[in-house]
A and B are shown apart, each in its own frame.
Chain A
Amino acid sequence: MRKTFVEKLLLYAKKYPSLMVVTGDLGYSVFEPFMQKFPEKFINAGIAEQNMMGMSAGLALSGKIVFAYSITPFATVRPLEQIRVDICYHNLPVRIIGTGAGLSYGTLGPTHHGTEDLALMRAMPNMAVCAPADKYELAKIMDASMKMKTPLYIRIGRSQEPDVHSFPPPLKIGKGLEVYSKGGDFAIISCGNMVHTALQAAAILFKEGKKGKVISMHTIKPLDSALVLSLAKKMPLFTLEEHSIIGGLGSAVAETLADAGVCPPVFERFALPDAFQKAVGKHEFLRMKNGLTPEAVAKKIIKKL
């Protein structure tokens, strides 16, 4: 995913003279080609994220389109007030890229786990929030972002994520994508790096005779509430995300249902608990510990059906 990210930036640098890329001293083995080709469009702000976001706002106030990059918690939680006041209040075209979605940074520990970013970014006025499932979705979202004049948060994975699509999907910001559709027994609404898990869970359920749908809800804000409500009226609904149970995709879907007074036959949110990770482990191990493997998700869904 990060490779696609930098490839896209190289293309934009030629096409858009106003492009600027800012990093908080991160992106080893990602940014090198960009730094070499476009040094005047690249700022390494050092390990100083508050200044990085303030500076990005200043660049955007002067007509630049800015991509500001760091590891998820350092791109969101650390400079939150700069995002709120400097970027969102001025409603500026700054694209905040948080890498290492959810528990991607595994053994590096809870300081590096990005588990509250969607909740925080959703709460920022003017901010749109995206979590692409694979490199194809990321490329489409980045393309769309170059035409947006408002703030955008993009949560990306680390590297080597499996692809969900085999070719670029017809993606529109704010419209969910149906990535799997075999029937109406259930629907899993997922985002980011969990869409692949949702597909695997759906495959397991298919073997058990349960035919359902998987939605890649790559845009968490503004949420595609029309799609959520139409599914909720017809079938059991589940949400799946690698984010705290508070404030993420599941919360957004639940809010939509509650506001519309629509009650699906079954509704459950699969997410991380409201807690820091205690057990040390790699990404897959931590997913297993938190019940976010395809098998665990499929088992819980069967129980509910």
Chain B
Amino acid sequence: MHFWPFSRYFRAPQKATYLPYIICMPYYKNYLVGRANLIKLKSPTFYMDRTSVNPLSSHAKEIRRKILKMIHASKSAHIASALSTVELLVSLYFKIMRIDPKNPSMQGRDILIFSKGHGCSALYATLVQRGYENEKILQEFSTDGGKLWGHVTSGSMKGIEATAGSLGHGLPIGLGMALANKKRNVFVLMGDGECDEGSVWEAILFAGHARASNLIAIIDFNKIQSLGNTAEVLDIEPLAEKFRAAKWAAKEVDGHSIPHICAALQKLPFEEGKPSVLIAHTTKGKGISFMENSLAWHYTPPDDKQLEGALGELS
């Protein structure tokens, strides 16, 4: 009679023989820590969590929740600019980049420079989600006496590689870092509006010329800048053609599809001897229906009711 838990234990994997062995491993561990976990093993949600729900998209959802709460609490701007970058950051920090959150200054790590510094709430939330810092630090965002400025500032949080805020600085810095150590990849996440800056084009010309093939620019092309639509303010299209003309290899992708982003970045560089650019077509304010494609949400923070509605959409 007292053998029954063991029989349960051996039966459980048989019930789910379609699962690869590695995924079954938690059963064994769970058994060892007590009978309560055996009950958990039987619950259908346990199987679901491990199999059918894409964990990366659940990270994206959690990051959006954190962004909403940070911006709401600090009544700060740029929420829509942060929301359009979420899937790009998740793909990079959870799948593509060679990093170690426990050792943020690991030698030879891949680098991300978040050049559109105003969207920093997304970076802060991603770094917390990835385990660089405790969640508590997010309460320090844009508040009197806090640690986190409203534009990316190096030294304020583990995992931040460079200060940004004035636009057009990230790509030249990233280029220098790529040239200094060619054995690692340097990613620079930029906005589409940021591409108006002359310094961006200086760096594009030089990176192509210098064959900086470990430099990867990622454009969050959300089509809206500070005062209007990018196409109306300063049309940068055809953007991929411009990069290609400067000896870059370019790809375009749906910037909210994690599988597509990961697939596009699986093999780097895109072409030997050329820097790579991933033009990610995104939606400003992505994920919150009433914030999508609206200029106002470049500036406005959500009020209590809007926060509730937005969090509801993410549940």
Contact = CB atoms under 8 A, between A and B. Distances in A.
Q: Do A and B bind each other?
A: yes
Interface of A: 20, 43, 45-46, 48, 50-64, 81-82, 85-86, 89-90
A54 B206 contact: no
Contact of A61 (B162, B166, B168): B162
Nearest to A43: B179
**Which 9 interchain pairs have the tightest Cβ spacing?**
A58-B176, A54-B172, A62-B180, A51-B202, A55-B176, A48-B202, A50-B199, A58-B173, A58-B177
A81 B178 CA distance: 21
A47 to B, nearest CB: 9
A86 B172 contact: yes
Given A54-B172, A82-B172, A86-B172, A62 B177 contact: yes
B180 A54 contact: no
A58 B180 contact: yes
B198 interface: yes
B79 interface: no
B174 interface: yes
A85 B165 CA distance: 9
A85 B177 contact: no
Interface string B170-198: 01111111111100000000000000001
A54 B154 contact: no
Nearest to B154: A90
Nearest to B215: A58
B169 interface: yes
B180 A51 contact: no
A46 B207 CA distance: 12
Given A55-B179, A61-B173, 14 more contacts: A20-B180, A43-B179, A48-B205, A50-B172, A51-B199, A54-B171, A55-B176, A58-B173, A59-B179, A61-B161, A63-B180, A86-B162, A86-B173, A89-B163
B203 interface: yes
Nearest to B206: A51
A60 B199 CA distance: 19
Nearest to A46: B206
Contacts of B180: 20, 58-59, 61-64
Interface residues on chain B, size class:
20 to 34
B163 A56 contact: no
Contacts of A53: 172
A55 B169 contact: no
A16 to B, nearest CB: 14
Interface string B138-166: 00000000000000011000000111011
Interface string B238-269: 00000000000000000000000000000000
Contacts of B179: 43, 55, 58-59
A20 B180 CA distance: 9
Contacts of B198: 50
A53 B176 CA distance: 9
B246 to A, nearest CB: 12
A85 B113 CA distance: 14
A46 B210 CA distance: 11
A95 to B, nearest CB: 15
Contacts of A50: 168, 172, 198-199, 202
B203 A54 contact: yes
Contacts of A58: 162, 172-180
Given A55-B175, A59-B179, A61-B162, A86 B169 contact: yes
Contacts of A54: 169, 171-173, 175-176, 199, 203
A20 B198 CA distance: 25
Contact of A51 (B153, B161, B175, B177): B175
A71 to B, nearest CB: 17
A55 B173 contact: yes
A57 B173 contact: yes
A60 B180 CA distance: 8
A81 B175 contact: no
Contacts of B177: 58-59, 61-62
Contacts of B209: 46
A20 B179 CA distance: 11
Contacts of A20: 180
B240 to A, nearest CB: 21
A85 B153 CA distance: 10
Given A58-B178, A61-B177, A85 B169 contact: yes
Contact of B181 (A52, A60, A62, A90): A62
A67 to B, nearest CB: 14
A90 B162 contact: yes
Contacts of A63: 180
24 contacts: A46-B205, A46-B206, A48-B202, A50-B198, A51-B172, A53-B172, A54-B169, A55-B172, A55-B179, A58-B175, A58-B177, A59-B180, A61-B162, A61-B176, A62-B176, A62-B177, A62-B181, A81-B169, A82-B172, A85-B166, A86-B169, A89-B154, A90-B154, A90-B162
Nearest to A66: B176
B292 to A, nearest CB: 32
B205 A55 contact: no
A303 to B, nearest CB: 48
Contacts of B154: 89-90
Contacts of B202: 46, 48, 50-51
| Most B C-beta atoms less than 10 A away, residue of A45, A46, A54, A56 | A54
A48 to B, nearest CB: 4
A85 B169 CA distance: 8
A21 to B, nearest CB: 13
Contacts of B169: 54, 81-82, 85-86
Contacts of A62: 176-177, 180-181
